[in-house]
Amino acid sequence: MSGPGGAGRRGLPFVVSAPSGTGKTTICRALVARDPGVVFSVSHTTRAPRAGERDGVDYHFVDETTFEALVAQGAFLEHARYAGHRYGTSWAAIEAPLAAGRDVLLEIEIQGARQVRERLADACLVFLLPPSRAELERRLRGRGTDRADQVERRLAIAREEFQAAPLFDAFVVNDVMEQAVEDLAAVVAAARRGGRAALPGAAGLAAVRRRLAPDLAGWLPTDQGRVRERPIP
């Protein structure tokens, strides 16, 4: 197999999912900036742009009617509704770079990760975690974009999302940002050498449980077997 982007090599799809407030956008963009063999998949969404976001760079911002038409056309690899808005990754966003030997990074929600697992057998799923519940709450409140009740709702959603941890192939804790980027880069390097089979799976989940603060480790499921796949809505 050639190196990243090499001739004759098909790229690998990497999925990074995380609870809101974990810092997945920052980590993913830092990885893409340092690794020319990885491209960032730009998703579609029906939510309004936040300050500084650019259409076609951060997201493809579309209305509900346009999004629904794309669903009907089968344009999406995965799509989900999160916090009242719709998000989706188009097949077009990933197929050309994969065919050209580039690895593609998808920053998507847990619902979308489940769909990718069903549809792309070689996809490498990475779960990004905060180091503690207290730190997750601090980051959510520090963004200044949510009311107190919305922060509590996001924390409740995060606890539910932790139950999907056994779905993932590798785990990265975002305690210190620079180290989290290094850890994610190590996951990518391992998968390039040996594919999804080279990633730790259940052993990685056991290891990450020991790294988390007790207030967060308790959110992880006690059964570390693979989660049952749910039908795509």
At 70-115, the pLDDT tens digits run 999 999 999 999 878 999 999 999 999 999 999 999 999 899 999 9
Give residue 232's pLDDT: 33
How far apart, in whole angstroms, are the C-alpha atoms of residue 233 and residue 231?
Answer: 6
Give residue 229's pLDDT: 40
The answer on pLDDT for 233 being more than 50 is no
Q: If we measure between CA atoms, which residue out of 39, 3, 36, 26 comes closest to residue 179?
A: 26
For the chain, the domains span: 13-41+102-217
Three-state DSSP class for residue 61: strand
Cβ-contact 227, 167 below 8 angstroms: yes
How far apart, in whole angstroms, are the C-alpha atoms of residue 20 and residue 224?
Answer: 23
Cβ-contact 31, 184 below 8 angstroms: yes
Give residue 4's pLDDT: 64
Q: What are the φ and ψ backbone dihedral angles of 86, each rounded to 5 degrees?
A: -105, 145
Q: May I ask the CATH architecture of the domain 13-41+102-217? A: 3-Layer(aba) Sandwich (3.40)
Give residue 205's pLDDT: 95
Q: What are the φ and ψ backbone dihedral angles of 40, each rounded to 5 degrees?
A: -95, 130
